[in-house]
Amino acid sequence: MRSFDYHCATNPAEALSIAGAAPARYLGGGTNLVDLMRQNIEAPAALVDVSRLPAVIEETPNGGLLIGAAVRNNVVAAHPSVRTRYPVLSRALLAGASAQIRNMATVGGNILQRTRCAYFYDAAGSHCNKREPGSGCDAIGGFNRYHAIFGASEHCIATHPSDMCVALAALDAVVHVKGPGGERDVPLLDLHRLPGDRPDIETVLQPGELITGVALSPSAAAAHSAYRKVRDRSSYAFALISVAAGLEVVDGRIADIRIALGGVAAKPWRALRAEEMLLGTDPAKERFLAALDAELAAAKTFDGNAFKVELAKRTVAAVLCELAGVNP
Ligand code: SF4
C-alpha cells in the first residue's frame, strides 16, 4: 500500500475545497476503496474522508425521503419509513455483505463500489481493461459465472455488485451531486455507465463531484415492493441474479410496475420492456413469464453464465406472483 494524504471534511463545501486543491478520492466507510488500495489497484495521492458529513434521513415536501450520502447502510435498512414505505430498499440492504460491513458502509460509497470480478482484483496475474485499459479481459473466455448478460462489450463483461442500487433503480431514485460546477441531480439509472470501450470509466460523475444524497419519491408500488437475491451461498455473497420489484394493482389491473435486475450488467438493469408489456394487464404468472421472455431475448451470455437467463426469468416471475398474490 502506498502512502497518501488524509483529510477529514465536516461539510460538503469543505470536502469540495480540499478535493479541488489536491486531486483526491472521497472516502466513505472504506469497505471497498481501502481494499482496492491495499491491493494496489487504486493508489490515490489523497483521501478526503466524507463519512462524517451530516448523516440524516429526512422527509421531502412531496412526501418522499432524502437519504444523506453518509448514512450507514444498516441505519437506512432499519429506518421505520424505509421499512414501511420502501421495503425493497430495506430488504436489498440487508441482503448485502455482513452486518459489520453494513455498519461501516455509507450510501454514497455503496453506489460507487466497484465490480467484484476476480480478474480485476488479481493485479499480479490477470489482464483487465478496467484496471489497466488496453490490457485485455481475462473474464471473456475465463471464469464468468458472475458476469453480465446485458450491456457488456468486447472490452469488459463485469457486473455492478450493489444490492442497494438495484432497489434504488426500481424506485426511480435521484442522486444529488455537488461539484466544482455547482449542484445537479442524476437519476440513479443514468449514473452508472455501460463499459463500451472505456470500462475504467464507471459513472457519469465528473472529477471532484461528490454524492450528497439520494431522493426517493412516494408511490404505491414502492410501498408494495420486494427484493430477492439468488447467490451461491446464503449470506455474504454477491448476486448471481437479484430482483427488485414493486407493484400496484387497481381494479384487477396493473397500474404501476417496477422491475430491476442485479447481477446482470455493469449497472442496475431496469426491465422496461417487461414493464411496458405488463402495464394495464391483469396479473397472471403466464403473462409475467411471457413479458420476461421478451425482456431476456436481448441477453447475450457467455460459457459460464448462460444459466442466468432462465434464473432471471423464474426469479422475477416468483417475486411478481408474490406481490400480486397469484399462484406461483
Ligand atoms: Fe476486467 Fe471487466 Fe474483464 Fe473483469 S470483465 S477482467 S473487470 S475487463
> In the prediction, which pLDDT does 327 show?
85
> In the prediction, which pLDDT does 296 show?
98
Q: Whose CA is nearest to atom 7 of ligand 1?
A: 120
Q: How far is the CA of 159 from the centre of ligand 1 (A)?
A: 9
> In the prediction, which pLDDT does 236 show?
86
Residues in the chain with pLDDT < 50? Answer: none
Q: Which residues of 140-149 are buried (b: 16+ CB within 10 A; e: fewer)?
A: bebebebbbb
45: left (phi over 0), alpha (psi -120 to 50) or beta: alpha
> In the prediction, which pLDDT does 328 show?
84
The boundaries of every CATH 3.30.390.50 domain in the chain are 221-324
Atom of ligand 1 nearest to the CA of 155: 8
Yes or no: say if 225 and 86 are a contact pair by the CB < 8 Å rule: yes
Strands (E), the chain: 5-8, 25-27, 46-49, 57-59, 65-68, 174-179, 182-187, 210-216, 225-230, 241-250, 253-262, 269-270
Q: How far is the CA of 200 from the centre of ligand 1 (A)?
A: 9
> In the prediction, which pLDDT does 65 show?
98
> In the prediction, which pLDDT does 115 show?
98
What three-state secondary structure class fits 99?
Answer: helix
Atom of ligand 1 nearest to the CA of 144: 5
pLDDT digits (tens, 9 = 90+) for 271-314: 999 999 999 999 999 999 999 999 999 999 999 999 999 999 99
- How far apart are the C-alpha atoms of 288 and 320, rounded to whole Å? 7
Nearest in space to 253 (alpha carbons), one of 278, 235, 288: 278
Which three three-digit cell numbers place residue 189?
Answer: 439509472
- How far apart are the C-alpha atoms of 66 and 59, rounded to whole Å? 6
Report the top-level CATH class of 221-324: alpha beta
The boundaries of every CATH 3.30.43.10 domain in the chain are 5-51
Architecture of the domain whose range is 5-51: 2-Layer Sandwich (3.30)
Tell me which residue has cell 414493486.
Answer: 246
Burial of 15 (0-12, 13-18, 19+ CB in 10 A): buried
pTM over 0.85: yes
Angle between helix 285-296 and 307-324 (nearest 10): 150
Question: What is the CB < 6 Å shell around ligand 1?
Answer: 115, 117, 119-120, 128-130, 137-139, 156-158, 199
> In the prediction, which pLDDT does 2 show?
84
Atom of ligand 1 nearest to the CA of 137: 3
Tell me which residue has cell 444459466.
Answer: 307
